[in-house]
């Protein structure tokens, strides 16, 4: 009996210690859950105006809100610069002229997910939302602390987007919005993103800067265009793993870098929106800063059918271009719009400009041949231009084999016609044999 009592005491002590540890872990999980539902330590979740910049370096809470005054600078621009974007420019950025906008109803949205491929098995566990309120930008983050609570997070998102007329994303057309719509469908809920005007900034970014910076990922645009420098930022491919680690360990420190990453994404969306809007201004005092930006904006306007704005930006690009490729593309644009508007005198000028800036492109010489054949009637000059086009086509470096064959056939047909029309006529009205060349 004595041995039995002696063995029982340490077992009882171990059970008590284990229970204390379980209680301690439960209190920690409850604390994290409260933060995940948006309760900041002081109960407000708001960064004071004077302390906004200082708070950037602190570990964020899981979910909740932060407030940035209009003069808070992210990269090279204040966040408030996005507040002054005119409604018509918002429509141009979105590429949808039918959509309606309301002042102050623009929402900047970015999500973090459990996978980068999308699909029904991918969860959205963090939604970053920015919206202007009063004298600043209120940044709200909805965090999915438990995958079983997904419906609650989606309901909160629906409430937030209820009055949004514009949703701004980066690659949201291909990723963010389709994935959110999938999650709403799987939960048998109506998606709040269907009726709003969607401005996906990836497309305009590519048109404006791909020729200058290559990759137009958000990270690349931040570095080269917005002057945003992130320190110790978590890479996107690691985010699903960090969330899985958090669910397993309930260690808030594991997911905190993801929350900070998402917050910076939303801030970058805000200033990028303003930066793109500036490029779409046709007033040279506020518009594109360089020829490649003017060219990208012109192509965007051209695709939407705004010929006057496109023409102004194409011409701006021709005046300031230092790159032969940018200038030749801009001249092509001006020439195409001049032909469409039947500005024949302008067509001659720009056709001549084109063979100077794109002399190794046979299509430029074809345009000059067309102009002289059909507008001035100078068949000799047209024939010279067509023959030059044939020479260039045989060695043009940027043509595929299929394009080269097709273009050569068309040029030879044009040369034959010009030779027939240029040949002297005999007294009986018949055409003499064409001269050899």
Quote the pLDDT of residue 368.
Answer: 92
Q: What is the rounded distance in angstroms from the CA atom of residue 109 to the CA atom of residue 111?
A: 7
Partnered with residue 130 across adjacent β-strands are: 108, 139
Q: Do the domain assignments include residue 167?
A: yes
Quote the pLDDT of residue 407.
Answer: 93
> What is the pLDDT confidence band of residue 425, given thresholds at 50, 70 and 90?
low
- Six token digits for residue 258: 């993801």
Please say if the pLDDT value at position 14 is more than 70: no
Q: Do the domain assignments include residue 46?
A: yes
Higher pLDDT, 24 or 286: 286
- Six token digits for residue 113: 């997910």
> What is the pLDDT confidence band of residue 31, given thresholds at 50, 70 and 90?
very low
Lowest mean pLDDT among 119-123, 143-147, 173-177: 119-123
- pLDDT mean over 258-276: 96
Q: Do the domain assignments include residue 52?
A: yes
Q: Write the CATH number for 124.
A: 3.30.420.10
Structural domain count of the chain: 1
Please say if the pLDDT value at position 44 is more than 60: no
Quote the pLDDT of residue 284.
Answer: 62
pTM of the predicted model, to two decimals?
0.79
> What is the pLDDT confidence band of residue 96, given thresholds at 50, 70 and 90?
confident
Nearest of 87, 108, 110 to residue 99 by alpha carbon = 87
Q: Which residue has the tokens 């030879």?
A: 412
Quote the pLDDT of residue 434.
Answer: 45
Q: Do the domain assignments include residue 115?
A: yes
Q: Do the domain assignments include residue 311?
A: no
Q: By three-state DSSP, how is residue 70 classified?
A: coil
Q: What is the rounded distance in angstroms from the CA atom of residue 168 to the CA atom of residue 95?
A: 12
Q: Do the domain assignments include residue 205?
A: yes
Nearest of 139, 80, 78 to residue 266 by alpha carbon = 139
For the chain, give the mean pLDDT: 83
Quote the pLDDT of residue 50.
Answer: 32
Please say if the pLDDT value at position 46 is more than 50: no
Q: Which structural domain range is residue 121 located in?
A: 33-279
Q: Do the domain assignments include residue 197?
A: yes
Please say if the pLDDT value at position 2 is more than 80: no
Cα end-to-end span (Å), the chain = 123
Residue 340 CB neighbours (<10 A) = 10
Q: Do the domain assignments include residue 355?
A: no
Please say if the pLDDT value at position 55 is more than 90: no
Lowest mean pLDDT among 28-37, 137-146, 164-173, 215-224: 28-37
């Amino acid at each position: 009996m004595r041995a039995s009592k002696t063995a029982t005491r340490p077992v009882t002590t171990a059970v008590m210690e284990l229970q204390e540890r379980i209680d301690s872990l439960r209190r920690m999980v409850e604390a994290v859950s409260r933060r995940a539902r948006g309760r900041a330590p002081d109960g407000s979740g708001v960064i004071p105006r004077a302390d906004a910049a200082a708070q950037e370096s602190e570990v964020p809470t899981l979910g909740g809100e932060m407030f940035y005054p209009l003069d808070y600078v992210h990269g090279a621009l204040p966040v408030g610069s996005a507040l002054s974007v005119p409604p018509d420019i918002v429509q141009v950025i979105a590429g949808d002229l039918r959509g309606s906008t309301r002042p102050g109803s623009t929402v900047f949205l970015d999500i973090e997910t459990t996978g980068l491929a999308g699909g029904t098995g991918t969860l959205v566990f963090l939604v970053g939302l920015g919206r202007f309120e009063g004298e600043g930008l209120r940044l709200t983050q909805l965090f999915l602390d438990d995958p079983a609570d997904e419906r609650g997070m989606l309901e909160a998102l629906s409430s937030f987007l209820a009055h949004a007329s514009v949703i701004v994303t980066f690659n949201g057309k291909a990723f963010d919005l389709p994935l959110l719509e999938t999650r709403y469908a799987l939960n048998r809920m109506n998606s709040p993103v269907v009726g709003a005007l969607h401005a996906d900034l990836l497309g305009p970014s590519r048109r404006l800067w791909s020729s200058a910076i290559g990759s137009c990922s958000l990270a690349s645009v931040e570095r080269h265009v917005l002057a945003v420098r992130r320190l110790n930022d978590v890479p996107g491919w690691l985010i699903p793993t960090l969330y899985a680690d958090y669910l397993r360990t309930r260690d808030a420190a594991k997911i905190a870098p993801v929350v900070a990453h998402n917050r910076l994404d939303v801030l970058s969306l805000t200033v990028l929106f303003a930066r793109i809007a500036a490029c779409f201004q046709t007033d040279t005092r506020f518009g594109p800063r360089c020829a490649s930006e003017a060219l990208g904006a012109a192509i965007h306007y051209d695709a939407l059918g705004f010929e006057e704005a496109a023409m102004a930006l194409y011409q701006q690009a021709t005046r300031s271009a230092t790159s032969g490729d940018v200038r030749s593309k801009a001249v092509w644009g001006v020439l195409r719009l001049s032909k469409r508007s039947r500005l024949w005198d302008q067509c001659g000028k720009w056709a001549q400009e084109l063979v100077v800036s794109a002399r190794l492109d046979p299509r430029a010489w074809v345009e000059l041949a067309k102009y002289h054949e059909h507008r001035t009637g100078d068949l000799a000059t047209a024939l010279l231009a067509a023959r030059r086009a044939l020479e260039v086509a045989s060695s043009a470096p940027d043509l595929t084999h299929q394009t080269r064959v097709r273009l050569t056939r068309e040029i030879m047909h044009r040369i034959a016609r010009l030779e027939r029309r240029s040949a002297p006529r005999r007294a009986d009205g018949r055409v003499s044999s064409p001269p050899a060349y």
